[in-house]
Structure 1
Amino acid sequence: MSDDDSEVLITKVRELGCGKSGRCRFRFEHKEKKAKDKKKEKKMKGKKRMAVIIRNRITLEEEKRAKQLEKQAKKQEKKEKKRLKMEAERQKQLEEEARMKAQLEAIEMEKQKEREAKEEKKRKEREKMAAIKAELDQAEKKRAAQEAEREKQRAEAWVARMNAEADAKAEEKQKKEEEEVAKKKAAEEAAAERKKLFRTKSQVMAEEEEQRRQERARRQEEEFGCAIAGGFEKGDYVIAQNNMSVQGEIIVKKGTRGVVRGPSETDPQNRVSVAFDKREKAGYAQINVVHFEIKVTDAPLQKDPNVSELIEKIMTPRDARSKQVVNELEED
């Protein structure tokens, strides 16, 4: 028991007194105090033991960590040595490669110089050969020009001779042809004169008709740009030879009179534009017909106003004024 605990115990005894009950209470408290001290001491021993265990464990861990650090340091040192060795080997290899490269470059440079020397030699030889070739080409061109000039002169002389011969032959041939043409023309004229002496009336009419046809075609060409199909003339009176229909419907009946206006604009070679007097179906009376669908007819009779008036008077029915009508007729 420590001094502090003794002092505390004496103080409590003084407070409690010296009686019997006081002694019992002191004894009980003393036992309780001893139990607490034992428990506390036991607890302290446990803590000390735990502290020792912890301290030992910490020491073991530190030793283990120290060993690991030492091992790692050795390993790192080994790696560093290996790296330095590899770097040294790499540096040595690079130096060797640089040395080899320098040697190769020196060899290549020597080869390049040799090649350049050879190229220079070849270039000089080529220049020399080119100069010789140029001289030879110049001489060859000069010789070829002289030869071409001589050949040209010979060709011109030959062409002139051939042209002269051809001109002579052409003149002779032309003279013969002219003589033949003159003889033929004279024979044709003589035959035509003989034929005219023995022409018939029908031949004369046919010739006149042919002349009229040619004149009509020329006039139509000037007016319309082409001849009217079928030999018709503008203003001819024609009649339809058959019924004319479009899509199954009759538009112009057979016998309808019409007047030729000119060639068809759509088919001038085969069709004629005709203005008929009457059309069965509504529409323009001027239509394009094939030239063989119509034929020429006589012009319609012109109305005489006197005859028309007389016919009207005759056809007037009799009435109170019939006597006056008869008198007028007698006076006429």
Structure 2
Amino acid sequence: MDQMKSSRRKFIRNTTIATAGVLALPDLLMARNSVLGAAEKVNLACVGIGNRGGEIIAEFAKTGLANIVALCDVDMGAPHTQKIMAQFPNAKRFQDFRQMFDKMGNEIDAVSIGTPDFSHFPITMTALSLGKHVYVEKPMGRTFNEVQLMMDAAAKHSKVVTQMGNQGHSEGNYFQFKSWVEAGVIKDVTKVVAHMNSARRWHGWDTNIKSFPPAEPVPSTLDWNIWQMQTFGHDYNHDFVNGQWRCWYDFGMGALGDWGAHLLDTAHQFLDLGLPKEVKPLKLSGHNNFFYPMSTTLSFKFPKRGNKPKLEIMWYDGLDNLPPIPKGYGVQGLIPIFRRPAPEKLKHLS
């Protein structure tokens, strides 16, 4: 038993410091009641194995303590899934996560979910109901209702450990912000400005569209119905898949949903923000009934929290929508892909 606990702690430590900021199943193993499998490795099933999902799996593999027993993806024959399948030739393969659980549920200890945001909810809820530990990428769900139901399920299945991944939670800025708040360096904050102004996938698209893009033949390797999950009802088009889903109201959450979780994460946690009392759009340009605006400015107002004052978050996205530069900011201007100034240019700020 002591060896098992040591192995579990080693897995947690190795995974937490893994590159790419993957917060991989930090306490999943500690909550497990069953005996560990061969070589005391965690039997991990991976749902979503291409693109970001593939990066997550690669980081788990680097620890040497995760036994990848199943690979599941709605497009197992796509080019972006080939690398991971070749890396784990002995893992059983599935296109439907429900069949995966039905056929080998007893062989699975934990599940990593690296699928599009809108499919996090059904996969996570199924895994929790079966007593499987879960690592799911940010954002946890697509709607407030989904997130609340997932939180309730995690509380109900208290012996199952759950983790929402957020790269910022395992990088230096997280611990710096935390220590500065605790030391009183950051205090009495009344305004936070966050921006993400690099080009998004839909920038340049025709904003006067009157319908979804036309139906195209479904690739022979893709299970289009399972890809849609609870959004079922759309005809296949290449501008829906492989990241393109982020721009559509029916599938994604735009630039804020993609990047807000990273940029606002530490401020939200260590300033105890909770939910805003008011959300107001100040700028929405280049939008329609189908996909998100080309540029967005949003105001989020938060009430007092204990001894912390009222606070406003200003969010900017869009190529033509950089935030105003505060006096004394230390750089001459902001560019869409912001790079930190060289150290010598920061000396006058110290």
Q: Could you tell me the TM-score, scaled by structure 2's length?
A: 0.15
Please tell me whether Structure 1 or Structure 2 has the larger radius of gyration of its CA atoms.
1
Larger helix percent: 1
Larger strand percent: 2
Higher RCO (CA-CA < 8 Å; seq separation 6+): 2
